[in-house]
């Protein structure tokens, strides 16, 4: 027998559930993996349920392996090994192998997929088709359309025109058919189609998997959910664990609705709440609760603390991202000396990868080891940054024909590909362009002007040089035209250019700046290859999910960063609210990674302009619903300025307080937020 006495009351209720649908709402640090593994052990060892009838699904290979290992550690009963543990992709591919005779050779690997899409983009003459980020965005968009089971014609791409997207989508499907391959999205789609249209296959799968467990259910997308509904029916022995407050992968098609509407799809659902956080100190849980209760699309719940109080919650407002990075680096160095702790006890969490640039620069200069959780692609690898850097390299070395070819038509200078091919190997690119190509006099003047401008750029500091290229050489106008032609927003590309310009601030010469960039790239490659490094963790909010650290710094807590500007730059009010709520969930995930200390940083300036603090910082400091509701007519209060008084009227946030001299109308929310009044 497996002993389950050490579980708390609600964990025990979840573990002992056997038949019918069950939804476990598991807050951060509440022991959800423990519940799943104990339930598997309880079903097999204590209840003698056939292990081969149990399907346990996780979202990543690592979490699936962890689930299996933790389950096996609970009992040495040989039956525990016969459970089907896997990801959606591995489980669904197993079904395809059985019914459709696919094999491992049928899978299109990611490298071949990228090469194929790159070729398709080039064949359609789509600009920047060589850029890894562009290819990655197109891959993500195709994946989103498939996982949402939506019509490609209804999708609005952020990198391609509608016509381009449809053509790329169709050509990619043809490319796979010609190679007789399927990709990871096809594994899900084809399994769903098989189960939907082949009753014999569906009945067979249902007869094998009589009990389904799904971890991180808030991350599920439409095609996964629809396939699960088919398999679970009619017995509906489906047990899901998730937290709608941690649903943060909307760009992949996941959303909290599948958890919020679970009881509509599966009637007579048993609902269990795991609301004790065993990870974080009380002060951290308090600010997390204060933040997330401002969301409306959620189950109402308040997470309790199982660790006691004693955390430090710190708010800082540095001048800019450079000063922010320096403050954090110094703070970590001081704490390492004071507390005799390790670098891996510290994490810096940010909304977008672009924010790591200043951190990497400062930590390299101060020789503090760090580990970047996300990809090693830097801001310097982006195609727009590469264009600017090509201009700078030409300033240093005018014989770099590769760089001349890259920028000659950015902005458009009407130089044909034929002319470029004619002179690409000539030792003097500009002279050859003028003398060997049949150019119009206006073109010749444009090229001569460009040559003079490049000579001027050479003598500027890198920051001023980048500013000159963007303004006088009209590179920013090229970006605006590029976006207008594709009907996409300019914000993301302009931010790349702003960050690049900011990165050049502390360098005197272009050569020094270019050498620094190469050093950063080399450091990040070494960083990625050295998995054993004891270093401060740099991670995005998305990648931080599932991790925990003693000390957390959340940087860039400003409007436009978190929430990201793209979340509120939306005309549809309902969609805008959904996006803001997802951004708030991201902030919630970041906060709940912290065990003992948290520092939230909101720089005063960004790219030389004033920025306001994130509304989420205000959410944290604002009174809770409970605190607002606790103020009633007749309450005695104390006001910092007007002293004692009595509330005589209340209408929403507005209250009227009778003081000794006269009645005063005040906003209770503002007063409570700023700690101006309190009950006596």
Other CB atoms within 10 A of residue 228 CB: 23
Return the CATH class of domain 9-101+188-274. Answer: alpha beta
- Look at residue 426 in the predicted model and tell me its pLDDT: 83
E strand intervals along 327-475: 346-350, 370-372
Please check the confidence at residue 2 and state whether its pLDDT lies above 90.
no
| All structural domains of the chain with their residue ranges | 9-101+188-274, 108-180, 305-369+534-614, 381-502, 625-679
27 is in an annotated binding site: yes
- Look at residue 228 in the predicted model and tell me its pLDDT: 95
Confidence band (pLDDT; 50, 70, 90) for 413?
confident
Contact 256/298 with Cβ under 8 angstroms?
yes
- Rounded CA gap, 39 and 50, in Å? 13
pLDDT tens profile 453-487 = 998 999 999 999 999 999 999 999 999 988 888 77
- Packing angle, helices 132-147 and 222-232, rounded to 10: 30
Confidence band (pLDDT; 50, 70, 90) for 403?
very high
465 is in an annotated binding site: no
For residue 674, the number of C-alpha atoms closer than 13 Å in the C-beta half-sphere is 9
* Rg of the chain taking only CA atoms, in angstroms: 29
pLDDT tens profile 576-611 = 899 999 999 999 999 999 999 999 999 999 998 999
Confidence band (pLDDT; 50, 70, 90) for 166?
very high
Tokens representing 650? 């209340």
Query: Which CATH number does the domain 305-369+534-614 belong to among 3.40.50.300, 3.40.225.10, 1.10.490.10, 3.30.450.20?
Result: 3.40.50.300
416 is in an annotated binding site: no
pLDDT tens profile 6-49 = 899 999 999 999 999 999 999 999 999 899 999 999 999 999 99
- Rounded CA gap, 38 and 36, in Å? 6
32 is in an annotated binding site: yes
Confidence band (pLDDT; 50, 70, 90) for 376?
low
Among 386, 385, 359, smallest CA distance to 372 is for: 359
Contact 627/672 with Cβ under 8 angstroms?
yes
Confidence band (pLDDT; 50, 70, 90) for 236?
very high
E strand intervals along 560-618: 594-601, 605-606, 609-610
308 is in an annotated binding site: no
Q: What is the percent of the chain with per-residue pLDDT over 90, rounded to a whole number?
A: 66
| Fold category of 625-679 in CATH | SH3 type barrels. (2.30.30)
CA 219, chain centre distance (Å) = 13
The yes-or-no answer to whether 9-101+188-274 and 305-369+534-614 have a common fold is yes
Residue 57: strand, helix, or coil: strand
- What average pLDDT does the structure give for the chain? 91
- Rounded CA gap, 591 and 246, in Å? 11
Among 472, 470, 439, smallest CA distance to 453 is for: 472
- Rounded CA gap, 161 and 576, in Å? 22
Please check the confidence at residue 81 and state whether its pLDDT lies above 80.
yes
pLDDT tens profile 211-226 = 999 999 999 999 999 9
| Fold category of 381-502 in CATH | PCRA; domain 4 (1.10.486)
E strand intervals along 188-345: 211-214, 238-242, 270-274, 276-277, 304-305, 312-316
Tokens representing 468? 């000159």
Please check the confidence at residue 414 and state whether its pLDDT lies above 90.
no
**Which comes out higher in pLDDT, residue 322 or 571?**
322
Other CB atoms within 10 A of residue 412 CB: 11
The arithmetic mean of pLDDT across residues 280-288, rounded, is 95
Please check the confidence at residue 532 and state whether its pLDDT lies above 70.
no
30 is in an annotated binding site: yes
């Amino acid at each position: 027998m497996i002993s389950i006495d050490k579980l708390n009351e609600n964990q025990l209720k979840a573990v002992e559930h056997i038949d019918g649908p069950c939804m476990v709402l598991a807050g951060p640090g509440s022991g959800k993996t423990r519940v799943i593994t104990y339930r598997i052990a309880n079903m097999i060892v204590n209840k003698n349920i056939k292990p081969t009838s149990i399907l346990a699904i996780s979202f990543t290979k690592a979490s699936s392996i962890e689930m299996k290992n933790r389950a096996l550690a609970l009992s040495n009963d040989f039956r525990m090994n016969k459970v089907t543990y896997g990801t959606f992709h591995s489980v669904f591919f197993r079904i395809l192998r059985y019914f459709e005779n696919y094999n491992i050779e049928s899978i299109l690997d990611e490298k071949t997929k990228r090469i194929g899409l790159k070729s398709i983009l080039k064949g359609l003459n789509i600009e920047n088709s060589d850029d890894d980020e562009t290819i990655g965005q197109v891959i993500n968009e195709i994946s989103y359309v498939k996982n949402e089971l939506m019509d490609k014609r209804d999708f609005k791409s952020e990198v391609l025109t509608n016509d381009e997207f449809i053509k790329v989508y169709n050509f990619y499907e043809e490319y796979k058919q010609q190679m007789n391959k399927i990709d990871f999205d096809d594994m899900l789609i084809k399994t769903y189609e098989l189960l939907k249209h082949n009753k014999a296959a569906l009945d067979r799968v249902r007869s094998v998997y009589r009990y389904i467990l799904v971890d991180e259910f808030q991350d599920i997308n439409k095609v996964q959910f629809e396939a699960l509904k088919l398999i679970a029916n009619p017995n509906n022995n489906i047990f899901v664990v998730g937290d709608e407050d941690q649903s943060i992968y909307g760009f992949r098609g996941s959303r909290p609705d599948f958890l919020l509407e679970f009881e509509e799809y599966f009637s007579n659902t048993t609902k269990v709440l795991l609301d004790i956080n065993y990870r974080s100190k009380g002060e951290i849980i308090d600010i997390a609760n204060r933040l997330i209760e401002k969301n409306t699309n959620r189950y109402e719940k308040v997470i309790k603390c199982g660790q006691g109080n004693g955390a430090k919650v710190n708010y800082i407002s540095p001048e800019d991202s450079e000063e922010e990075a320096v403050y954090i680096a110094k703070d970590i160095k001081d704490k390492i000396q004071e507390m005799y702790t390790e670098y891996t006890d510290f994490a810096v969490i940010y909304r977008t990868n672009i924010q790591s640039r200043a951190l990497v620069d400062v930590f390299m200069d101060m020789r503090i080891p760090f580990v970047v959780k996300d990809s090693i692609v830097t801001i310097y690898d982006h195609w727009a940054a590469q264009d600017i850097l090509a201009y700078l390299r030409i300033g240093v070395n005018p014989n770099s024909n590769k760089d001349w070819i890259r920028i000659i038509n950015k902005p458009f200078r009407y130089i044909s590909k034929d002319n470029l091919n004619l002179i690409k190997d000539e030792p003097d690119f500009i002279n050859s362009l003028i003398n060997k190509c049949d150019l119009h006099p206006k073109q010749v003047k444009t090229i001569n002007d460009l040559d003079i401008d490049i000579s001027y750029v050479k003598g500027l500091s890198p920051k001023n040089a980048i500013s000159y290229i963007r303004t006088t050489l009209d590179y920013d106008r090229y970006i605006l035209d590029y976006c207008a032609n594709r009907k996409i927003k300019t914000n993301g590309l302009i931010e790349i250019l702003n960050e690049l310009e900011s990165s050049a601030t502390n360098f005197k010469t272009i050569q020094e700046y270019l050498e620094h960039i190469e050093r950063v790239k080399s450091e990040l490659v070494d960083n990625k290859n050295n998995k054993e490094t004891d270093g401060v963790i740099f991670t995005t909010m998305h990648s931080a999910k599932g991790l925990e650290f003693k000390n957390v710094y959340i940087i860039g807590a400003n409007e436009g960063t978190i929430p990201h500007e793209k979340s509120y730059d939306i005309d549809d009010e309902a969609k805008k609210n959904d996006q803001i709520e997802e951004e708030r969930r991201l902030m919630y995930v970041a906060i709940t990674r912290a065990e003992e200390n948290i520092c939230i940083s909101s720089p005063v300036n960004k790219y030389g302009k004033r920025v306001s603090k994130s509304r989420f910082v205000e959410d944290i400091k604002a009174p809770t619903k409970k605190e607002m509701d606790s103020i009633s007519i007749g309450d005695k209060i104390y006001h910092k300025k007007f002293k004692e008084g009595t509330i005589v009227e209340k209408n929403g946030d507005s209250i009227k307080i009778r003081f000794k001299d006269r009645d005063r109308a005040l906003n209770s929310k503002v007063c409570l937020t700023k700690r101006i009044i309190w009950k006596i």
